[in-house]
Structure 1
Amino acid sequence: MTQLSQLISLLHLASPALPIGSFSYSQGLEAAIECGMVRDAGSAQRWVRSNLLDVQAQCEAPVWLLLYRHWRTLDATRLAEWNDWFHATRESAELRLETEQMGWSLARLVAQMEWGDARLRAQLVALAPVCLPTAFAAACVALDVNERDGLAAYCFSWAENQVSAALKAVPLGQVAGQHILRRLHPAVLETVDEAVRRADAEPPRLSTFSPMLGLLSARHETQYSRLFRS
């Protein structure tokens, strides 16, 4: 596959138009807004950047890389282990529901689009529940996207969804949202670099320590007024 073809595949996977329901989730951001932790463009940018570098880079991003590498070799045992391990790290009912629903939707799309070979699609279908990073890594392997580019697209897509949620819930203007996204570019690259270091360590260096996110997510379950499902 040419570099241009890979780029188009990445744009497809990272597009907000991908029908996996990402627009309906905020991953605790709405609860942070309710608590006053996020109240304007500056605090929204700090929230997203902190979650990239202090949460995504410590666990989800390196796990994504491990999953990607096991998809490359179709190691069914290791894929199931890391998928289940990630699922167990979701601290609240909403965070579990989010990764399950979006993962299922993306796995179904991979099957419907017939991305990759039949063995990869069969293995993806066999995972239940399938988490979002598992399904996204599988899609990248199916479309022959290299691991660093695939992870960058995954992280940017997450950041873009956070900014989109902030536009609606803070609320912010469209230009303010674009400024935030542009300023987050270095954080996305830092997240990828840190994830590679952690995934390459033996054993992988993973940390799920994010108590504030867990508390906010749990509080969101009973929040009086909500736009988002997490």
Structure 2
Amino acid sequence: MRVLQFGDSLLPVGAFSFSNGLETAVEIGVVHDVETLRAFVRAAVEQAATSDGVAVLATHRAVSVGDITGVDRADRAVFDRKLNEEMRTMTVRMGRKLAEMAARVLGPSTPSDWLDRIKAGATPGCLPIGQALVFAALGLSERDAFAVHQYGLATMMINASLRLMKIHYLDAQAVLFEVDADAEEAYWRVAKLGLDDMAAFAPGFDVLASLHVRAHVRMFMN
């Protein structure tokens, strides 16, 4: 049940405010139907697996052995790999909200300690790190934490698509179902990687993000 709670797309951490680049992709026509939406979301989730997803696993393992330095190193690794301001804003804003929620719900714990370090400016506070810390504090597996991270990104984009496109809500759910099917293989592909192996090559996303920064009219914060 706790996997369901913390993996819920309605978790109050602000995901509704972000589209992960989908808004500009729709505006300029890169995404215009179900097929292009599927390809765009799948590409985003694949990139997340080999970058932020690696940090999720590294953080879960670090906190499990009491390595707080390792947690902060993973946090910085995520932040440093966000190439534009809006992506950095997205991950730290949602990360801090998750930490605040966990501190209220779980009480004194590793997520609340992490929140203290965020407030002190000692660590950025990126969302994937918070997800790993919460799941470790609940005694849940790194595999669950990875799955929630991947699912959260996919649902953020699918929910955004319903506000941005003329798409049937059942078609949107079919896209989510298909993209989610990749998570198992993605976990095993990155399970042996470390922070130095974090990598993502998606220049199209970076270009779309840079265009969104300068947009005069927009629905989402990124």
Q: Which residue of 1 aligns with 2:35?
A: 42
Secondary structure of residue in 1 paired with 2:191: helix
- Deviation at 1:49? 0.9
| Aligned residue pairs, count | 218
**Contact 1:71 1:120 (8 Å CA) reproduced:** no
Q: Which residue of 2 aligns with 1:149?
A: 144
Q: Which residue of 2 aligns with 1:32?
A: 25
Change (3 A) 1:98 1:216: same
**Aligned ranges for residues 81-120 of structure 1 at < 5 Å?**
81-114=73-106, 118=109
What TM-score results when the alignment is normalised by the length of structure 1?
Answer: 0.89
- Deviation at 1:204? 4.6
Matched AA of 1:218? S
Which digits, 9 at most, give the CA deviation of each residue in 1:118-173, with x for residues without a partner?
A: 45532442134210011111110111111112211221121111111111112312
- Deviation at 1:51? 1.5
Structure 1 window deviating more from structure 2 (169-178 vs 94-103): it is 169-178
Matched AA of 2:134? A
Matched AA of 1:74? G
**Contact 1:68 1:147 (8 Å CA) reproduced:** yes
Structure 1 distance, partners of 2:7, 2:141, is 14
**Contact 2:99 2:111 (8 Å CA) reproduced:** no
- State whether structure 2 residue 140 is matched by structure 1 residue 133: no
Q: Which residue of 2 aligns with 1:181?
A: 176
Q: Which residue of 2 aligns with 1:3?
A: none
**Contact 1:48 1:159 (8 Å CA) reproduced:** yes
**Which of 136, 140, 154 is the equivalent residue of 1:159?**
154
- Identity over aligned pairs, percent: 25
Structure 2 distance, partners of 1:151, 1:76, is 19
Q: Which residue of 2 aligns with 1:217?
A: 209
- Deviation at 1:191? 2.1
Structure 2 distance, partners of 1:49, 1:210, is 12
Matched AA of 1:184? V
Which digits, 9 at most, give the CA deviation of each residue in 1:158-206, with x for residues without a partner?
A: 111111111111231211111111111222222222221334xxx7522
Structure 2 distance, partners of 1:120, 1:39, is 39
Matched AA of 1:34? E
Which digits, 9 at most, give the CA deviation of each residue in 1:82-130, with x for residues without a partner?
A: 1112111111111011011100100111111125x54553244213421
What residue ranges of structure 2 are gaps of 5+ in the alignment? none
Structure 1 distance, partners of 2:181, 2:110, is 37
**Which of 107, 113, 121 is the equivalent residue of 2:112?**
121
Matched AA of 2:206? G
What TM-score results when the alignment is normalised by the length of structure 2?
Answer: 0.92
Structure 1 distance, partners of 2:104, 2:97, is 10
